[in-house]
Amino acid sequence: MTRLLLLTTAFTLGGAMAAQANADLQTLMDDPNQWVIQTGDYANQRYSDLEQINKDNVGSLQVAWSFSTGVLRGHEGSPLVVGDVMYVHTPFPNIVYALDLNNDGKVLWKYEPKQDPSVIPVMCCDTVNRGVAYADGKIFLHQADTTLVALDAKTGAVVWSVKNGDPSKGETNTATVMPVKDKVIVGISGGEFGVRGSVTAYNTADGSVAWRAYSMGPDSDTLMDGENTTHLGKPVGADSGLATWEGDQWQIGGGTTWGWYSYDPDLNLMYYGTGNPSTWNPSQRPGDNAWSMTIFARDVDTGMAKWVYQMTPHDEWDFDGINEMILTDQNIGGADRKLLTHFDRNGLGYTLDRETGELLVAEKFDPAVNWTTGVDMDPNSATYGRPAVVAQYSTEQNGEDVNSTGICPAALGSKDQQPAAYSPKTELFYVPTNHVCMDYEPFRVSYTAGQPYVGATLSMYPAPDSHGGMGNFIAWDGKEGSIKWSLPEQFSVWSGALATAGDVVFYGTLEGYLKAVDANTGEELYKFKTPSGIIGNVMTYSNGGKQYVAVLSGVGGWAGIGLAAGLTNPTDGLGAVGGYAALSDYTALGGTLTVFTLPN
């Protein structure tokens, strides 16, 4: 009885501490003056209630101050603001700065990890990092070498650190993390090296593992229940993560988890997507390759999967499914629903019921998409929820070593990881897109741990018969599955968007412009050219009674890999170098934080 009482007390205290930690972080996220996790909030809406800067005065924005990071590679993610302190991160070597907003941005502390530079050539598509997160008085950084570090937010001292993966096997990190309750959720990169994707929950207090869930494998690894985990309303069955793989290919099956995470506190479910199956040569991995290219809904406490939806079974094009899941509560079809909206690399915009996984909308968000005629939306059909593949644009239509041409979108998708925003005022999503097509030639490749496991040669170019540019910034109605307006851009829009209560939407361009547009019409209201191309995400905060807008510039990422890594062969960078060769005419390397505000 004494032991039972002790256990009960421990669980009660643990639950209370978790609830308090979650409540404290939620309170900070609810304060629009701060920006405490990369996505702004758990719903991934990237929306701010601040409205001092609005559509009527945004044209008067001025640069308030700037800060050089001292690093030249691609700068993704955004700074955080917690209280009066701003936290700025960099790509490899993943420096973190704490800046005093009340003292001219004075550096309060600097953390610079000592990482083995041998991790750099193992990182796909540049040495980017999508930023730090805050919770429980700690700054959480997931380094390129997969070291997860908890830093004291006041001093920068290391509170604890753990290793999440093994770079010698190709496991690296480019993503941010998501603190939730008493845990911090962490993914893994490396799908181009035959890594098996996983999501891990670490306890924020000490870095111990709470649970780990793999993307494929037996139920004990994937944390799935064949009877209670569903796919489009039906039980997935036992060991579904093995059933559609040939032999032991699942052990090097990809499905990495380097994207964004969202969370519904009411349902206690987290949502994320998994990446491409390994290898890129589809003939080497027959079957649907579950659960790559899949949206997962998992219980945060246990990691158990409630439902899944595989968007691109047997992916033939590297259409990673890792893009953000945006959570909204809207009326659709005459009923109030808890919705999840996802803009996939495959060019389809999805809306699902996030409680049940029911598929409600699946439509193209770029008219150039041609690899599929659309998704079967008939629940009674044997192919329900599957995209119908156009044979001409299948990459295994004629076997290996045959070049399939004119496929739209290219492997970097109609949208890559650059996050969209949502405004509850307009009920529209604002989506940075790529308007790019490709030629794709698969070839046979063998697996060696730590070596590239790609198996395809690509070339990329603007979509034909359009505005001739490589990008658009669009407003999307997630309930209808339709584009409301679209702004053409010369290059892909690789910056994350921000929507505000001032009816302004911000985004950045690869040439380096920060742009502000009217949330209702798309009319351009302001633009300013920063020192380098923008692949960072726009954020906003308030300090001393003034609203500020901030963005990291520093060209790189997949689209800018030619500039970032000094590559010139058109097929290098998995085909991106040739497609974006003209970028060097408009911008150069350099990591800078630029902060804007209205004049006094």
Point out the residues that are catalytic. Answer: 318
E strand or H helix at 336: strand 335-343
Main-chain phi, psi angles of 372, to 5 degrees: -135, 150
Scan for tokens 């009960």, then name that residue: 8
Question: CB–CB of 88/67 below 8 Å?
Answer: yes
* Of 285, 218, 224, the residue nearest 254 (C-alpha): 285
> How far is C-alpha 441 from the geometric centre of its chain's CA atoms?
27
**Dihedral, CA atoms, 469, 474, 478, 483, nearest 10 degrees?**
-70
- DSSP-derived pairing of the beta strands 294-299 and 178-180: unpaired
Q: 458: which strand partners?
A: 440
Write the burial class of residue 467 (CB in 10 Å: 0-12 exposed, 13-18 middle, 19+ buried): middle
* Of 536, 524, 462, the residue nearest 496 (C-alpha): 536
d(CA 247, CA 245): 6
Kindly give, in sequence order, each residue whose CB lies less than 8 Å from that of residue 28, ignoring residues fewer than 6 positions away: 34, 36, 82, 134
Question: CB–CB of 161/207 below 8 Å?
Answer: yes
> How far is C-alpha 159 from the geometric centre of its chain's CA atoms?
27
* Of 598, 600, 599, 591, the residue nearest 66 (C-alpha): 591
- DSSP-derived pairing of the beta strands 387-389 and 372-375: antiparallel
* Of 536, 529, 533, the residue nearest 580 (C-alpha): 533
Three-state SS at 366: coil
Question: CB–CB of 549/534 below 8 Å?
Answer: no
Question: CB–CB of 72/537 below 8 Å?
Answer: no
Scan for tokens 């000592």, then name that residue: 114
**Dihedral, CA atoms, 238, 239, 240, 244, nearest 10 degrees?**
-130
d(CA 93, CA 71): 8
Residue 406 CB neighbour total at 10 angstroms: 15
Main-chain phi, psi angles of 389, to 5 degrees: -85, 130
